[in-house]
Structure 1
Amino acid sequence: MDQNFMKEKKVLPLVLSMSLPMMLSMLINSLYNIIDSMFVARVGEKALTAISLVYPLQTLVTSISVGFGVGISAAVAFFLGMGEHKKADQSASEGLFLSIVHGVLMSVLLTVILPSFLRLFTTDEEIYQMGITYGTWVLSFSLVISVYIAYEKIYQSLGNMIVPTLCLAAGCLTNIVLDPILIFGIGPIPRMEVKGAAIATVIGQIVPLVMYLVWHRKKGLGVSIHIKDMKPDPAICGRLYAVGIPSSLTLGMPSLLITLLNKIAGAFSSVYVLVLGVYFKLQTFLYLPASGIVQGMRPILSFNYGAGEKKRMKQILSVCTGLIFGILTVGTALFLLLPEPIMGMFSKDSVTIREGAAALRIISLGFVVSGISVVASGALEALGEGIPSFIISLLRYLVLIVPAASIGSRMFGITGVWASFPVAEMLTAAAAAGIFTARYRTCLKRL
């Protein structure tokens, strides 16, 4: 498969052709998470709180899988840009094997720690039992997530965004259809409530994996996957993990952030734990289109970096930055103008809606400036600069926001917690601009 279109096609149409399919599939993915929560909310606020408590562990699984997948994608695209097709095949093969190993470990370890994890955040026995039921189901299938995301990233590295879009969309739509059937019971299907939501989620994850396996067998990938190439090669593994580990840590940090903020906000009222859970689902819905642009950008930037196309790299960065700023501006407007109707989709309680709307208005003030950090972090990963990318995310998700939330909560109550979001985004953006400029110049000197 010829990837030369990545350095020949006009930049804006190329970025859009690579990004729009992923934006669509990721938006559908966000939509099914939100719909999942909306259906569960109809069971009761305790049920929604239970799945909100499990959400950080679910996010951790996805973060590790996607983070390592970014390492696979960057390596495959880079070697293809250099014309090293054998190394590209090795990167894909070893990446798939290691993703299987990661999936098995996560399935076992996270299921084991689930009870202790839930006890940290609730003493309500009903919420705890619902959390155990939901978490045991969804975490036991971490292997499925790890493997299908590995396939997704391999396809993306080749510039093929259609197959990942179709597979992910099929899984999400399956979940949407099954949610009301399994949660509330329709016809011969018994009412399963939280368990039904978990089973619908698991089936929705199995569907794309099956589709990837069938597609691979019938149509091929564009790179060759061989068992003999799965034998770990130190140089290839080093490149995969050099981006994969920082990227996984970066993506996993929101899970830790949610956990820490739940502890801070929960000290005021359990209502704020629910508000945080809803917000993080909503911000996922907002940031995933921006992430879709970044995912489309990564293989293009990696390929052109490998090919030594300096001028084109600059054009790619400019176009992607403009698109991401546009997306985040729209998100800011929605959260400022329509916070009550948005919160009303998840709760009918007037206090929850009022407090949630206040939180959304304050938090949204940091959306636009966060685009600087999003672009810088994604671009550095594409260039193989995993550690600087990780530092930016560390500042954004832990080093700045957690102390700000802790101090703010003591000085201004719950308003101080919400205000820590835009404060952290502004400070991180300033640091990200400096880090990216320095590392980007260093990368260009290597060409």
Structure 2
Amino acid sequence: MTSAKSKKKQDLLNEPVSGTLKNMTIPMILGMVLLMTFNLVDTFFVSLLGTQPLAAISFTFPITFTVISLAIGLGIGTSAVIAKTLGKGDVESARDSATVAMLMTAIIVGFVSMAGLVFSEQIFSLLGAKPSMMPMIHDYMDLWFLGSIGLIGPMTGNAILRAAGDTVTPSYVMGAAGLINAVLDPLFIFGWGPVPAMGIKGAAIATLISWAFGMIIILYILGVRRQMIHLKMPHKDVLKRCTREILHIGLPAAGANMLTPIAAAVMTAIVASYGETAVAAFGVGSRIESIACLVVLALSMTLPPFISQNLGAGKMARVEQAFKITTKFVLVWQVGIYLLMVLLAPWIASVFAKEQNVADIIKLFIYILPLGYGLQGIIILTNSSFNALHKPIAALVLSIIRLFVFYVPLAYLGSKLFELNGLFIGALLGNLLMAIVSYHLFTRQFAQPECLVETKSS
């Protein structure tokens, strides 16, 4: 937000739409490849400990994703407010919002994590975890909850940078944090030299160290190098105004994001009825999904600041063009990813599973669910675009419809009719129906220009 133009920042208001999105998204993809690949290392090394530790860490995914989704949602609100403000040319207000966002996210995520720590026994029992698994779950989650404040670096800090058009720096930070996690995982899980083997607890420690690194680096970049946040507490009037603006979008966005892991928790509970092997395989499939959809996830981080800045500048034709370009692209891209995953399914299953039953379910997951990842991409991009247009309630309603009208109910119905095959097919059908609804509702925005007219209250 300094007056000097950084080479890392894109001009989101004037440069060609497709080229700008490509230049913003490619660095994000590279950073996310490193981050998600190295996060998958957690699952791989824990899988070497056996099926029960793998099942235990699989039970933690819905909860960790819930807290992470909360931080991502607040980051969405942060990015939307800052990008729109920058689109209007108000740099000082953008700096105020960035400062408040860092403080607010730390407080909210810290409070939620402490509640999770206190009630962890009840939470994981509801998910279907057996008493024998609780010690391993505690080994991982107790440390994870305590260190979760480190999420403000990779989530909120990177959202601030993206709002200003810089996606290169966040990719470096994500990649470096992921590399640290990958190096420390085997060291702490299995031990080496003076470092004792800590098992599943070691995976949590590695994660926390990588987060701490990311938070320190982000705070230095934002506060010292770029001067994008204030280094002192803002005035109480600024705190109230910025908090209200960010939470107006951030809370519904966080709610919408948190619905996904909540739905995943319900799905995990359904899968748990088929035994520990099914839970272990489903956990592996969920991690693989994050890799398979990383281009969609990268676009969901780069498209919103583009939309919000152009919204602030009143350039709605660029918003429509950007949305249609990205949705068409992800449909084609994800078909290619599906074909690749089908070819690699036997190898993937053999890498992550020691038992044949687990490997068979992993392959079943890959043969069915990834067929709908392009449709899922349309849903994700539609929701993030509604948030970028400062219409968070629309995004929240669509998320509720997707998960609790289509995705989970159809998966549950399928499981009752055709067991695990039916569960995966039902989830696929849910994504198909919701993609049609999402695309229709968002493109209808541009057929009714009055819906996009700014009001002073917004």
For normalisation by structure 2, the TM-score amounts to 0.92
Change (3 A) 1:291 1:405: same
**Alignment pair present for 1:91 and 2:97:** yes
**Alignment pair present for 1:437 and 2:436:** no
Counterparts in 2 of 1:112-151, with a 5 A limit?
A: 112-122=118-128, 124-151=130-157
Counterparts in 2 of 1:23-38, with a 5 A limit?
A: 23-38=29-44
Is contact 1:266–1:272 with CA below 8 Å preserved after alignment? Answer: yes
**Alignment pair present for 1:311 and 2:313:** no
Change (3 A) 1:275 1:243: same
Is contact 2:445–2:451 with CA below 8 Å preserved after alignment? Answer: yes
Secondary structure, in 3 states, of the residue corresponding to 1:37?
helix
Counterparts in 2 of 1:238-277, with a 5 A limit?
A: 238-277=244-283
Deviations 1:41-85 (A, max 9, x none): 101111111111111111111101111011011100101111223
How big is the shift at 1:147?
Answer: 4.5
1:49 is matched by which residue type in structure 2? A
1:78 is matched by which residue type in structure 2? K
Instruction: Indicate the residue corresponding to 1:353 in structure 2.
Output: 359
Is contact 1:293–1:323 with CA below 8 Å preserved after alignment? Answer: no
Deviations 1:71-110 (A, max 9, x none): 0111001011112233222221221221121132023111
Change (3 A) 1:41 1:432: same
Change (3 A) 1:225 1:158: farther
How big is the shift at 1:210?
Answer: 1.1
**Alignment pair present for 1:413 and 2:424:** no
Greater shift in the superposed pair: 315-324 or 421-430: 315-324
2:409 is matched by which residue type in structure 1? P
Instruction: Indicate the residue corresponding to 2:208 in structure 1.
Output: 202
Instruction: Indicate the residue corresponding to 1:336 in structure 2.
Output: 342
**Alignment pair present for 1:402 and 2:408:** yes
In 2, Cα distance between the equivalents of 1:147 and 1:211?
Answer: 8
1:127 is matched by which residue type in structure 2? M
**How many pairs align?**
447
Instruction: Indicate the residue corresponding to 1:52 in structure 2.
Output: 58
Aligned pair partner of 1:8 in 5, 9, 14: 14
Change (3 A) 1:429 1:230: farther
In 1, Cα distance between the equivalents of 2:45 and 2:102?
Answer: 35
Deviations 1:141-175 (A, max 9, x none): 11111354211111111111222111111111000
Is contact 1:167–1:211 with CA below 8 Å preserved after alignment? Answer: yes
How big is the shift at 1:138?
Answer: 0.9
Greater shift in the superposed pair: 408-417 or 59-68: 408-417
Structure 1 unmatched runs, 5+ = none
In 1, Cα distance between the equivalents of 2:236 and 2:98?
Answer: 9
In 1, Cα distance between the equivalents of 2:285 and 2:234?
Answer: 46
In 1, Cα distance between the equivalents of 2:236 and 2:66?
Answer: 25
Instruction: Indicate the residue corresponding to 2:108 in structure 1.
Output: 102
Instruction: Indicate the residue corresponding to 1:176 in structure 2.
Output: 182
Change (3 A) 1:61 1:122: same
Secondary structure, in 3 states, of the residue corresponding to 1:348?
coil
In 2, Cα distance between the equivalents of 1:359 and 1:217?
Answer: 45
Greater shift in the superposed pair: 225-234 or 311-320: 225-234
2:337 is matched by which residue type in structure 1? G
Change (3 A) 1:178 1:332: same
For normalisation by structure 1, the TM-score amounts to 0.94
How big is the shift at 1:445?
Answer: 4.1
Instruction: Indicate the residue corresponding to 1:71 in structure 2.
Output: 77
How big is the shift at 1:332?
Answer: 1.5
Instruction: Indicate the residue corresponding to 2:87 in structure 1.
Output: 81
Greater shift in the superposed pair: 264-273 or 182-191: 264-273
How big is the shift at 1:237?
Answer: 2.9
Is contact 2:96–2:238 with CA below 8 Å preserved after alignment? Answer: no
Structure 2 unmatched runs, 5+ = none
How big is the shift at 1:316?
Answer: 1.8
How big is the shift at 1:17?
Answer: 1.7
**Percent same amino acid among aligned pairs?**
24
In 1, Cα distance between the equivalents of 2:222 and 2:387?
Answer: 27
How big is the shift at 1:122?
Answer: 4.6
Secondary structure, in 3 states, of the residue corresponding to 1:36?
helix
Is contact 2:223–2:231 with CA below 8 Å preserved after alignment? Answer: no
In 2, Cα distance between the equivalents of 1:193 and 1:167?
Answer: 27
Deviations 1:326-385 (A, max 9, x none): 332222112333222222221021121112212221212222222321221121111111
